[in-house]
Amino acid sequence: MPQLQLNYINGRWTEPRSGQSFERENPATGECLGRFPDSGREDVAAAVEAAASAFESWRFTPAPRRAEILFGAAELMRERKEELARGVTVEMGKVLAEARGDVQEAIDMTYFLAGEGRRQSGLTAPSELPDKLCLTLRQPHGVVAAITPWNFPMAIPCWKLMPALVLGNTVVFKPSPYSPLSAANLVHILEEAGLPPGVLNLLFGGDQAGARLVEEPRVAMVSFTGSLEVGREIAAYCARYGKRVHLELGGKNAIIVLDDANIDLAIEGSVWSAFGTTGQRCTAASRMIVQDRVAPAFTEKLVARAEALVLGDGLDPATDVGPVVNRQQLEKIERYMEIGRDEGASIACGGARATGDGLDRGYFFEPTVFVDARPSMRVAQEEIFGPVTTVLTCSDLEAAIEINNGVQYGLVSAIFTSDMSKALRAMERLSTGIVYLNAGTIGAEVQLPFGGTRGTGNGHREAGQAALDSYSEWKSVYIDYSGRLQKAQIDRHAGDEARSG
Ligand code: NAD
Which H, E and C letters describe 393-437, residue by residue? Answer: EECCHHHHHHHHHCCCEECEEEEECCCHHHHHHHHHHCCCCEEEE
How is residue 276 annotated by DSSP?
G
Distance CA 464, CA 204 (A): 28
Residue 230 alpha carbon, nearest atom of ligand 1? 2
Chain CA centroid to CA 333, Å: 21
Residue 176 alpha carbon, nearest atom of ligand 1? 9
Q: Is 229 in the pocket of ligand 1 (CB under 6 A)?
A: no
What number of residues does the chain have?
501
Chain CA centroid to CA 175, Å: 12
Q: Is 456 in the pocket of ligand 1 (CB under 6 A)?
A: yes
Residue 496's alpha-carbon distances to 126, 130, 231, 491, in angstroms, are 20, 15, 54, 9
Q: 408 CA to middle of ligand 1, Å?
A: 17
Q: 11 CA to middle of ligand 1, Å?
A: 27
Distance CA 322, CA 275 (A): 10
Q: Is 151 in the pocket of ligand 1 (CB under 6 A)?
A: yes
The answer to whether residue 98 is catalytic is: no
Residue pair 250/456 in contact by the 8 Å Cβ criterion:
yes
Residue pair 33/201 in contact by the 8 Å Cβ criterion:
no
Residue pair 367/275 in contact by the 8 Å Cβ criterion:
yes
Measured from the Cβ of residue 385, the count of other Cβ atoms closer than 10 Å reads: 24
Distance CA 207, CA 217 (A): 18
Q: Is 409 in the pocket of ligand 1 (CB under 6 A)?
A: no
- β-bridge mates for residue 388, sequence order: 368
Distance CA 352, CA 365 (A): 6
Distance CA 89, CA 417 (A): 35
Q: Is 248 in the pocket of ligand 1 (CB under 6 A)?
A: yes
Q: Is the pTM of this model over 0.85?
A: yes
Non-local (6+) Cβ contacts of 17 within 8 A are 40, 42, 43, 46
Q: 148 CA to middle of ligand 1, Å?
A: 6
Q: Is 181 in the pocket of ligand 1 (CB under 6 A)?
A: no
Residue 408's alpha-carbon distances to 372, 433, 436, 460, in angstroms, are 22, 13, 19, 17
- β-bridge mates for residue 255, sequence order: 288, 414
The residue contributing the CA closest to ligand 1 atom 35 is: 226
Q: Is 207 in the pocket of ligand 1 (CB under 6 A)?
A: yes
Residue 450 alpha carbon, nearest atom of ligand 1? 40
Q: 250 CA to middle of ligand 1, Å?
A: 9
Q: Is 334 in the pocket of ligand 1 (CB under 6 A)?
A: no
Which of 22, 151, 222, 245, when mutated, tests ligand 1's pocket best, judged by the most ligand atoms within 8 Å of its CB? 151
Q: Quick one: pLDDT at residue 499?
A: 62
Q: Quick one: pLDDT at residue 136?
A: 97
The residue contributing the CA closest to ligand 1 atom 13 is: 207
Give the SS3 label for residue 365: strand
Q: From the candidates 238, 282, 349, 394, give the one annotated as an active-site residue.
A: 282
Q: Quick one: pLDDT at residue 2?
A: 80
pLDDT in tens, the chain (501 residues): 788 999 999 999 999 999 999 999 999 999 999 999 999 999 999 999 999 999 999 999 999 999 999 999 999 999 999 999 999 999 999 999 999 999 999 999 999 999 999 999 999 999 999 999 999 999 999 999 999 999 999 999 999 999 999 999 999 999 999 999 999 999 999 999 999 999 999 999 999 999 999 999 999 999 999 999 999 999 999 999 999 999 999 999 999 999 999 999 999 999 999 999 999 999 999 999 999 999 999 999 999 999 999 999 999 999 999 999 999 999 999 999 999 999 999 999 999 999 998 899 999 999 999 999 999 999 999 999 999 999 999 999 999 999 999 999 999 999 999 999 999 999 999 999 999 999 999 999 999 999 999 999 999 999 999 999 999 999 999 999 999 999 998 987 776 655 665
Minimal CA–CA distance to 327: which of 25, 85, 86, 98?
Answer: 25
Q: Quick one: pLDDT at residue 362?
A: 96
The residue contributing the CA closest to ligand 1 atom 17 is: 211
Measured from the Cβ of residue 68, the count of other Cβ atoms closer than 10 Å reads: 15
Distance CA 231, CA 456 (A): 9
- β-bridge mates for residue 474, sequence order: 138
Residue pair 471/169 in contact by the 8 Å Cβ criterion:
yes
Chain CA centroid to CA 233, Å: 18
Which of 105, 230, 453, when mutated, tests ligand 1's pocket best, judged by the most ligand atoms within 8 Å of its CB? 230
Q: 149 CA to middle of ligand 1, Å?
A: 5
The residue contributing the CA closest to ligand 1 atom 39 is: 248
Task: Determine if residue 371 is left, alpha or beta; phi over 0 gives left, psi from -120 to 50 gives alpha, anything else beta.
Answer: beta
Q: Is 393 in the pocket of ligand 1 (CB under 6 A)?
A: no
Q: 284 CA to middle of ligand 1, Å?
A: 16
Residue type, 353: R
The answer to whether residue 282 is catalytic is: yes
Minimal CA–CA distance to 281: which of 304, 314, 248, 246?
Answer: 248
How is residue 458 annotated by DSSP?
S
N-term to C-term CA, the chain: 90
Q: From the candidates 105, 248, 366, 462, give the one annotated as an active-site residue.
A: 248
Q: Quick one: pLDDT at residue 492?
A: 77
